[in-house]
Structure 1
Amino acid sequence: MEQNLSRSDRNDLRLIMLYGAVAAIAVLIWTVVSVTNLFPAGVFTPTVPLETGTVSTALGGGASAVVTEVTVAAPDTPLISVIAAVTVVIVRALTFFGVIACILALCRNISRGITFDRANSRLVSATAITLFVGTLIVQGARTFAINGILASLEHIGEGDISTPMSFWVTYFVAASLGLVAIAFRAGERLQRETEGLV
Structure 2
Amino acid sequence: MTTTTPLYRPSRSDLAAMWTFLAAGAVIAVAAVVSAVLRIVEVLPNRDVQVLAEFSGTAAEAPIGPGGAPLPVILDRASITAETLPTFSLVSLVAEQVVAATTVIVVITCLVRLGWSVMRGEVFSRRSTRLVTTAGFTGLFGYAAVPFLANMAANGAFAEISDNTFDNVVMAVELAPFLLLAFIAALATVVFTIGERMRRDTEGLV
The TM-score range, normalised by the shorter chain, is 0.7 to 0.9
1:108 aligns with: 116
- Matched residue type, 2:31: A
Is residue 2:132 matched to residue 1:124?
yes
**RMSD, aligned CA:** 2.9
Tell me the percent identity.
26
Structure 1 residues 76 and 42: CA distance shift in structure 2, 3 A: closer
> How far does residue 192 in structure 1 lie from its aligned partner after superposition?
2.2
Q: Distance in 1 between matches of 2:192 and 2:11?
A: 21
CA offsets, 1:15-41, max 9 Å, x none?
211211111122123213333454689
Select between 6-15 and 78-87 the one with higher mean Cα deviation.
Answer: 6-15
Question: In the alignment, what sits opposite 1:161?
Answer: 170
| Inter-partner Cα distance in structure 1 for 2:46 and 2:151 | 25
| 2:88 counterpart of 1:88 | no
Contact 2:63 2:69 in 1 (8 A): yes
**2:44 maps to 1:45:** no
The equivalent of 2:194 in structure 1 is 186
Q: Is the 8 A contact 1:31 1:89 kept in 2?
A: yes
Residue in structure 2 matched with residue 63 of structure 1 by the alignment: 70
TM-score normalised by L of structure 1: 0.81
What CA distance in whole angstroms lies between the structure 1 residues aligned with 2:14 and 2:178?
28
State the match for 2:8 in structure 1: 3
> Counterpart in 1 of 2:158?
150
* CA 1:170–1:99: 2 relative to 1, 3 Å: farther
**Aligned pair count?**
197
Residue identity in the other structure for 1:161: V
Query: TM-score, normalized by length of structure 2?
Result: 0.78
CA separation in 2, counterparts of 1:8 and 1:116?
22
Given candidates 33, 39, 64, the residue that maps to 1:34 is: 39
Tell me the distance in 2 between the aligned counterparts of 1:56 and 1:182. Answer: 51
Among 22, 28, 32, the residue aligned to 1:23: 28
User: Which structure's residues are more often helix, by fraction?
Assistant: 1
| Consecutive unaligned residues in structure 1, runs of 5 or more | none
Maintained 8 Å contact 2:49/2:81: yes
Q: Is the 8 A contact 1:77 1:149 kept in 2?
A: yes
Letter aligned with residue 32 of structure 1: V
2: CA distance, partners of 1:49 / 1:170 = 18
CA contact (8 A) 1:54 1:64 kept: no
Cα distance, 1:181–1:61 mapped onto 2, change above 3 Å: closer
**CA–CA distance in 2 between the matches of 1:81 and 1:28?**
21
